[in-house]
Amino acid sequence: MGEAPLHGVPALGQVTPSLLKEALRCGWADMRRAPLLGAIFASVYVLLGLGMTWVTLWTGHSYWLVFAAVGFPLVGPFTAVGLYEVSRRLEHGMALQWRAIFGLVLNQSQRQLPSISALIIFMFLFWFFIAHMIFAVFMGTMTLTNISTSFEVYGTANGIMMLTVGTVVGAGFALLLFMITVVSLPMLLDREVDYVSAMIASFQLVQQNFFPMLLWALFIAVLTFVAMLPAFLGLFLVLPLLGHATWHLYDLLMATAPEEELGNGDQQPA
């Protein structure tokens, strides 16, 4: 990154609608300035989504596509580091050197990112397991039906209950993941801090600014869901926008932290 990162969890300001709007504006500007890099990072998940759909349809079990589509945003943060670095470089007037950017992403394997990535994978797999159990509980006693072609089964009482419970549980998983990663992921790129402290700081930020951050989470969820509808192609636009905006949200929160709290964690390595 060209300079030693700061140590410790930084002080963060309050989340306001105007701050969220500014983060989104800055994210849109970054996406327009570096569209090809954004498309490259997004392409990983477009291809993953298309592959997941193909496997689902090839196996003939379309209900897995429903659960996978709900759980798919849970793995979104894996594209984030590269987009954060692009925004960081644009912010500081640094050249967008592809070798340096992709090298930094690879170098994160020596820092804290693998630990938090492993936690995200665990949450994703656990959600997949819970989704399967929800299906079994509500649909396991139904008369044998090919749900790949008989979609009317979802309109039955059991089908509606399954979709309702699955949506609520899935939303709970997504909200928890959002709370522990929305600030921790850019923080892990920006600073030398352990992933547990970063997740706690992120969780506390959302907890202290729950309603504006809940609106931000809903905005992300709706935008991501809509982007996946046209064969996941909308992710080429949405993922770079949200990745860049998240970096600027983190940066703006540090810039608007109360003055008396500044410097508490901003220590250079000895």
Query: What are the tens digits of pLDDT across the range 192-209?
Result: 999 999 999 999 999 999
pLDDT > 70: percent of the chain: 80
- Give the Cα-Cα-Cα angle 171, 173, 174 (nearest 5 degrees): 60
pLDDT band at 119 (very low <50, low <70, confident <90, very high): confident
How far apart CA 42 and CA 243 sit, in angstroms, is: 10
Tell me: pLDDT of 104 over 80.
yes
> What pLDDT, on a 0 to 100 scale, did the predictor assign at position 270?
41
**Least reliable range by pLDDT among 46-60, 76-90, 197-211, 249-263:** 46-60
Question: Across-strand partners of 191?
Answer: 6
Q: Does the pLDDT at position 167 exceed 90?
A: no
Per-residue pLDDT band for 1 (boundaries 50, 70, 90) equals: very low
If pLDDT is split at 50, 70 and 90, which confidence band does 210 have? very high
- For every residue of 8-62, DSSP letters joined together read SPPP-----HHHHHHHHHHHHHHHHHSHHHHHHHHHHHHHHHHHHHHHHHHHT-T
Q: Which tokens is 136 given?
A: 């079994």
The distance of Cα 156 from the centroid of its chain, to the nearest Å, equals 33
For residue 186, what pLDDT band results from cuts at 50, 70 and 90? very high
Mean of the pLDDT values across residues 87-112?
88
Q: Which helix (DSSP H) or strand (DSSP E) does residue 123 occupy?
A: helix 113-139
Give the pLDDT confidence score for residue 122 in this predicted structure.
Answer: 82
pLDDT of residue 144 exceeding 60, the answer is no
Q: Which residue has the higher pLDDT, 111 or 153?
A: 111
pLDDT of 13 above 70: yes
- End-to-end CA, the chain: 18
Residue 3: the pLDDT is 57
Alpha-carbon distance 199 to 183, whole Å? 8
User: What was the pLDDT predicted at 147?
Assistant: 53
More confident residue, 127 or 264: 127
Query: Is residue 17 predicted with pLDDT exceeding 70?
Result: yes
Task: Tell me what pLDDT residue 143 has.
Answer: 57
